[in-house]
Structure 1
Amino acid sequence: MAEPRYAGVLRLDGKRTLVTGATKGIGADIARAFASAGAKLVLSGRDEAELETARRSLTADYGAEVATVAVDLARSDGPDRLAGQAGDAFGGLDVLVNNAGISHTQPVVDTDHTRFDETIAVNLRAPALLAAAVGRAMVADGVGGSIINVASAAALAPLAEHYAYCASKAALVMATKVLALELGPHGIRANSVCPTVVLTEMGQRVWGEEEKSAPMLARIPLGRFAVPHEVSDAVVWLASDASSMVNGVEIPIDGGYTMG
């Protein structure tokens, strides 16, 4: 068994948690962090085989209770279907982590309508509708909860060749604030995290060349990109009782990139 990463008020023992995009990159590390903290997990992604591999790994390493739901969140019925199946897995949800997202890099003048629509569907419509459905169930259960949306530093500062991505993530930050405003009276908190480039396998592939990474790194006072656990630690904190008075905020995880 792996050593627990968290203790005290950062423990999430028994908290029923849905993590989307849970088999790769940031989502996979968030799932491991929550399993280490004692949460019961529902993992969501599109590939059943990858979900099963993740389930077995988390069960073996942490003894976690893990269910999986394979769903395409870009489909119009995806968010409601996922909310229903995830809620059924453990008799409700205490935490939602909206992590699934995509990015197509294009200059504004080359914007492709299909890719733009796909980005908005996955990065904004899906998490917004999933949060609404899960929030509705949390209100009905009457036990409160926490919704955490993984946005981006690109929601707070423009990034060239990320037109649709910046728009989708900025809108997700505002959607999070509306969730916080309307669900707060029911004891449900909603917050977002806004990471800069994170050195997942994909992040290494996209930003690994010095020619591309150097201008971005020059804008980050800490002089480096993030690593996955720096995002996961913030998400665990937002799900835990340690952040019980934090609602409706966006937390940059960017080494100072968005300071100004």
Structure 2
Amino acid sequence: MLMSVVAPSCEFVAMPELTGARVLITGLTSASGFDVARAFVDHGARLIIQSPEDSPEMTELAAVLAENCSDLRLFNTPLASDEDAARLVQTAVQDFGGVDVVINFASVESSAVQRLETYEDVETLVADVLSVPLCLTQVAANRMRLVWVEGSILNVVRVADKTGGRAMMLADMLRSALADLTRGLAQDWADQGIRINAIAPPSSVASMGGHGAVSDADLAAVALQLASRKGQSVSGHVLDAEGASRRWC
């Protein structure tokens, strides 16, 4: 199901419940996710950030975040396996005594799209892309359950190359698989008060119509609302984030 959690027009409302929130963000790079991290810093959250990128740009962005964050930790170790993902969540829980919000970024680079030749190639890539977010979600939800945290988990999947037949087929298959995955996980953890949602790449129809472009600012607006009291009844959805930063002001 596609939906928007942001009203068409609204006023900026402070979210004091996010002050001191323990936030784990994975897959953040200098090109994707910075506005999301900054939004939580601006609301007084404590952050653990994992980035696969060890670059001067990433170091500079982390320094910018650290200027206003009371507690920020950065890990540049890539998540190459489920064991790496589980270890990262365990580290976050140990360092912060738990986690309240988890946001996982998974990206498909243009080079990976261009290598696709068959339907089986697409299926394999979809499984690979969703593998680490799935593991992170399961481990994080279990840790939330153990310490009685009714938290929010958001998986964001992006495709760098949005044009061409390969990219559109990949986007549609990612949306379908992510929707099934999100719905099932949300049902599994609903009794524990743990909310699980996702943002997928735009569909082929949206891309052809010139719609579906989602900025980091849009993602930040949605992630904040899902983590706040406003998102307490939202779970199991692939969300429509396009334009959220303009509608929430």
Q: Structure 1 length as normaliser, TM-score?
A: 0.74
| Alpha-carbon distance, 1:124 to partner | 0.4
CA distance in 2, matches of 1:78, 1:115: 25
CA distance in 1, matches of 2:181, 2:81: 20
- Gap change, CA 1:147 and 1:217, over 3 Å in 2: closer
Match of 1:144 in 2: 150
Does residue 1:96 correspond to 2:106, yes or no? Answer: no
- Gap change, CA 1:175 and 1:226, over 3 Å in 2: closer
| Alpha-carbon distance, 1:19 to partner | 0.8
Match of 1:220 in 2: 210
* SS of match in other structure, 1:151: strand
What runs of 5+ residues in structure 1 fail to find an aligned partner?
1-5, 198-214, 256-260
- Gap change, CA 1:169 and 1:74, over 3 Å in 2: farther
| Alpha-carbon distance, 1:218 to partner | 5.8
- Of 72, 78, 99, which aligns to 2:78? 72
- Of 238, 243, 253, which aligns to 2:231? 243
Whether contact under 8 Å (1:26, 1:231) holds in the other structure is no
CA distance in 2, matches of 1:87, 1:13: 18
* SS of match in other structure, 1:74: coil
Match of 2:91 in 1: 85
Identity fraction in percent: 26
| Alpha-carbon distance, 1:216 to partner | 7.0
CA distance in 1, matches of 2:131, 2:71: 29
Match of 1:37 in 2: 43
Match of 1:193 in 2: 199
- Gap change, CA 1:233 and 1:14, over 3 Å in 2: same
Structure 1 counterpart of 2:165, one-letter code:
A
Structure 2 counterpart of 1:55, one-letter code:
A
Match of 2:113 in 1: 105
| Alpha-carbon distance, 1:43 to partner | 0.4
| Alpha-carbon distance, 1:167 to partner | 2.7
Whether contact under 8 Å (1:44, 1:69) holds in the other structure is yes
- Gap change, CA 1:194 and 1:47, over 3 Å in 2: closer
Whether contact under 8 Å (1:153, 1:195) holds in the other structure is yes
Summarize the alignment of residues 167-186 of structure 1 with structure 2, pairs less than 5 Å apart.
Answer: 167-186=173-192
**CA offsets 1:201-229 (integer angstroms, 9 cap, x no match):** xxxxxxxxxxxxxx9766036xx844320
Structure 2 counterpart of 1:219, one-letter code:
G
What CA RMSD, in Å, does the superposition of the two structures yield over aligned residues?
A: 3.3
- Gap change, CA 1:183 and 1:216, over 3 Å in 2: closer
| Alpha-carbon distance, 1:180 to partner | 1.0
* SS of match in other structure, 2:74: strand
Q: Structure 2 length as normaliser, TM-score?
A: 0.76
CA distance in 2, matches of 1:231, 1:47: 20
- Of 161, 165, 175, which aligns to 2:166? 161
Q: Which has the higher contact order (CA 8 A, sep 6+)?
A: 2
Does residue 1:58 correspond to 2:65, yes or no? Answer: yes
**CA offsets 1:57-97 (integer angstroms, 9 cap, x no match):** 1121x234211223322324221121112222211111110
